[in-house]
Amino acid sequence: MTDYNIPADNTLMILDDDGPFRNRLGRALEQRGFSVQLVETVTEAKAIAQAKPPAFAVLDMRLEDGNGLDVIDKIHETRPDCKMVMLTGYGNLATAVSAVKRGAVDYLAKPADADDVCKALLATKGEAPEPPENPMSADRVRWEHIQRVYELCGKNVSETARRLNMHRRTLQRILAKRAPR
């Protein structure tokens, strides 16, 4: 584990509705020197942003009760200097651009490595963080995209295959396999 130069105000909010991932990331970032607050819902995150906004935030894009982009706006109302990283399992260019325009310093695909999150949060303005040590493979990115479209189509294989311009049986074979690394 790398030594990080964590500032005196080390408060960090992690917003994610995936409990095991949220807890694992929270423990890892505490070990790196952050004072972590774990949050599960957009409503809870907005309340914290209003009452006591953190210096740093790691926000999931899609949550059961809303969107992490709304939390970026709420935090910046009360604390414009907060450095935020957007995480998502459903990465696409449009949401990445939107997150960065609203004030996120970076946009990472889940499951994100704690070191990559830490580097993104601590990067100085105008300096791009180092590329991730273990980026998702092209096969994994493809699989994640297919899973996202499948979920958005209500797990309807025929509709998903049509939208992906793919044969239905090919899609069924892909969905039956485990996620690539």
Domains (range + CATH), the chain: 11-122 (3.40.50.2300), 138-176 (1.10.10)
Task: Tell me the pLDDT tens digit for each residue of 58-104.
Answer: 998 888 888 888 888 888 888 888 899 988 776 566 677 777 778 88
Q: Which two tokens stand for residue 49?
A: 């942003």
Q: Measure CA 161 to chain center.
A: 27
In terms of Cα–Cα distance, which of 99, 2, 101 is closest to 57? Answer: 99
Positions of E strands within 66-169: 66-67, 83-88, 104-109
Q: CA-CA distances (angstroms) from residue 8 to 129, 131, 141, 174? A: 21, 26, 37, 48
143-150: average pLDDT: 81
CA distance 40 to 160: 29
Question: 10 Å Cβ neighbour count for 3?
Answer: 7
The tokens of 21 are what?
């991932």
User: Which two structure tokens, joined as six digits, stand for 60?
Assistant: 């999931």
Look at the pTM and tell me if it is higher than 0.85.
no
Length reported for the chain: 181
Q: Which residue has the tokens 């059961």?
A: 64
- Report pLDDT for 5: 73
Torsion region of 43: left, alpha or beta (phi above 0 gives left; psi -120 to 50 gives alpha): alpha
3-state DSSP call for residue 113?
coil
pLDDT tens-digit readout, 113-127: 888 888 888 887 666
Q: How far apart are the C-alpha atoms of 57 and 54, rounded to whole Å?
A: 7
Which residue would you say has higher pLDDT here, 131 or 2?
131
Amino acid residing at 112: A
